[in-house]
A and B are shown apart, each in its own frame.
Chain A
């Protein structure tokens, strides 16, 4: 049985996968183990961990009460990481993809799990050198988790457009705002949680999958939102890692406010056609960002995504106020109103600087806050 641990509702946790680059040509570099050794003794909140390749590192906050704490912890981690990276002459940057790295040059971090993943997925494992933000929201029970996951599903295009920071891949403009999610799609267990009604149904499904010998743990599902029973959270996984910790904290504030309003809206129940439009809307958001047109599964209306995001953020503001996240949601609202996301910033940087290494250099500076 998959026991769902209760946690303090609406608490937040943020994980960020970060790029490690050299400061010569700003390509990804092998630096994770050296950087981890360098920060091992430093005091900081949360955790700093290895990821699947040596050019990647993951940081996460502890369980946070709200926006302010997330922001403060991420700032502190960023500082510790920045100091160590400076001594090692490494650059640290956000962004969902590295603009010009070749996946064939990546090296898999030497742990049994990563080596097993690499064995199973072949080149997909190396292509998976993409960088995402995961947002955990605390829930009381498995049933609440299932309900919230269905409820949040229709907002995933919002998170994609607001966080999108992967317009470039393999040295070219992909014309997507978030090309990172295309990489995730290649995995057999990517996509969404099935349309289960409660935790009991989910457990049945999970046991079946385990019975087939396809999965061993929740980690084997690469879903956009998945329950995390051992933490007592739901985990939103569609976001690209933003260029700044500020944006990362703002996204968490938005997730918290949305989750709160869904939780309290007792009249709402998941609509069966929800997932029929899901992949189409998701594609639209990845490809066009704020310029996407999404389909409402219930009214069947086609809505400009940018307008819908602005409307939803505006609606969330009072709730965010009560949760202490209004600063974050207001900042997102301002960005959405201006149709400004990191993908646009990166494209403008390329226009201005003229080369992708210079774009990465600017991304490092944005991350460090200098």
Chain B
């Protein structure tokens, strides 16, 4: 019997908890450093911290651990999507159809331009180019929501960039799951899978969202109009829906986004107060961005850098064209429209999720799509938040910044 059995073995076994703590601490410190010394958005700092800790950097956090931590990132992204869904204000779109049209236009232009450039110029197969184009339609909701919150931004540029992000996320998802399968029959099995899979994915996710939204509203009614308790209701609903979507092989993206939109738009009795995720919510963003940063493969900049850069630029041009073309009809000054287009640049965790969803649909092209799209994401992970912050500040919509 060893008298010293109460002592840990040496070196001690580092468990997951320790790494989550390290990740949070380094992330929050990185965000602060970047904000104070360079006046850059905090999330750029979170992502940079992730890169430093991850396989591309010091490799303190390896791939196995990242896989284990995915659950935190998924939960965080779930919350982001739920919040984004709440931004999908259908009443506003009904009152201002040009705004809805703007959402469709900027997504389509970006997608189509990316498709042509990748297909003709970079010699990607039509399917790879189309999938990359579809993913290019989407803007990172997490970056927009977080940067806007950090700047206490309010105003037309911010509001419109947020609702456009909600619209382009939906369109990107639909393009990936419905449009492209139809255009590329050769990659699919029989017509049954072709018709039934998208149908299952979409209808199933919407039904799940509806059930979850109803449960959320019932629970919100039960706990009353109290911000703290309703926050827990939201967390419960999001965790449950993310879990159910994964278990049923439905789309986490569509289910969460739709649930947020339904809670917002179907709450006629106004049981649900708008929950400010506040300080607790920031925690999830730190986790999300550090993990996304850690997952980035910086090597892609070397191997697919040119395509990635072209992807970023062409996507921006497409979005700018779409926004500018409809600006006069939508009651937006051209200067504001230009800033909206700049604010829509970020791509981050959502794009990574979309790449993963692609993998289940077309396993054979996963690698090709990933290299192009993720090379773009690496660039935008760092540049995107800066662009959004620049646009909001330039629009004069930043309030007293959170110190």
| A interface residues, Cβ below 8 angstroms from B | 22-25, 29-31, 34, 37-38, 84, 86-89, 104-105, 107, 353-355, 357-358, 361
Taking a contact as CB atoms under 8 Å apart, the answer to whether A353 and B399 are in contact is: no
- A22, A30, A31, A38, most chain B CB atoms within 10 A: A30
Taking a contact as CB atoms under 8 Å apart, the answer to whether B399 and A354 are in contact is: no
Q: Which residues of B contact A29 (CB under 8 A)?
A: 154-155
Taking a contact as CB atoms under 8 Å apart, the answer to whether A355 and B333 are in contact is: no
Other than A37-B333, A105-B399, give 12 A-B pairs with Cβ distance below 8 A. Answer: A23-B89, A23-B92, A25-B273, A30-B155, A87-B96, A89-B92, A89-B159, A104-B400, A355-B225, A355-B270, A358-B270, A361-B270
| B interface residues, Cβ below 8 angstroms from A | 86, 89, 91-92, 95-96, 152, 154-156, 159, 224-225, 270, 273-274, 276, 330-331, 333, 397, 399-400
Q: Which residues of B contact A84 (CB under 8 A)?
A: 331
Taking a contact as CB atoms under 8 Å apart, the answer to whether B331 and A38 are in contact is: yes
**Given known contacts A89-B92, A105-B152, A107-B399, is B225 in contact with A354 (CB within 8 Å)?**
yes
Q: Which residues of B contact A34 (CB under 8 A)?
A: 155-156
Question: Given the complex of chains A and B, what is the CA–CA distance between A355 and B86 in angstroms?
Answer: 19
Taking a contact as CB atoms under 8 Å apart, the answer to whether B155 and A31 are in contact is: yes
Question: Given the complex of chains A and B, what is the CA–CA distance between A174 and B321 in angstroms?
Answer: 51
Cross-interface CB contact of A22 among B91, B95, B154, B400, cutoff 8 Å: B154
What's the nearest-Cβ distance from chain A to residue B278, in Å? 13
**Given known contacts A89-B92, A105-B399, A105-B400, is B155 in contact with A354 (CB within 8 Å)?**
no
List 18 A–B pairs whose Cβ atoms lie within 8 Å, in order of A's numbering: A25-B274, A30-B155, A30-B397, A30-B399, A31-B154, A84-B331, A87-B96, A87-B330, A88-B156, A88-B331, A89-B89, A89-B95, A89-B96, A104-B400, A105-B152, A105-B399, A353-B270, A354-B224
What's the nearest-Cβ distance from chain A to residue B330, in Å? 8
Question: Given the complex of chains A and B, what is the CA–CA distance between A29 and B274 in angstroms?
Answer: 15
Q: Which residues of A contact B92 (CB under 8 A)?
A: 23, 89
Question: Given the complex of chains A and B, what is the CA–CA distance between A38 and B155 in angstroms?
Answer: 13
What's the nearest-Cβ distance from chain A to residue B156, in Å? 5
**Given known contacts A23-B89, A24-B274, is B95 in contact with A30 (CB within 8 Å)?**
no
Q: Which residues of B contact A87 (CB under 8 A)?
A: 95-96, 330-331
Question: Given the complex of chains A and B, what is the CA–CA distance between A34 and B152 in angstroms?
Answer: 18
Question: Given the complex of chains A and B, what is the CA–CA distance between A355 and B276 in angstroms?
Answer: 15
Question: Given the complex of chains A and B, what is the CA–CA distance between A357 and B274 in angstroms?
Answer: 9
Residue in B closest to A358 when the chains form the complex, CB atoms: B270
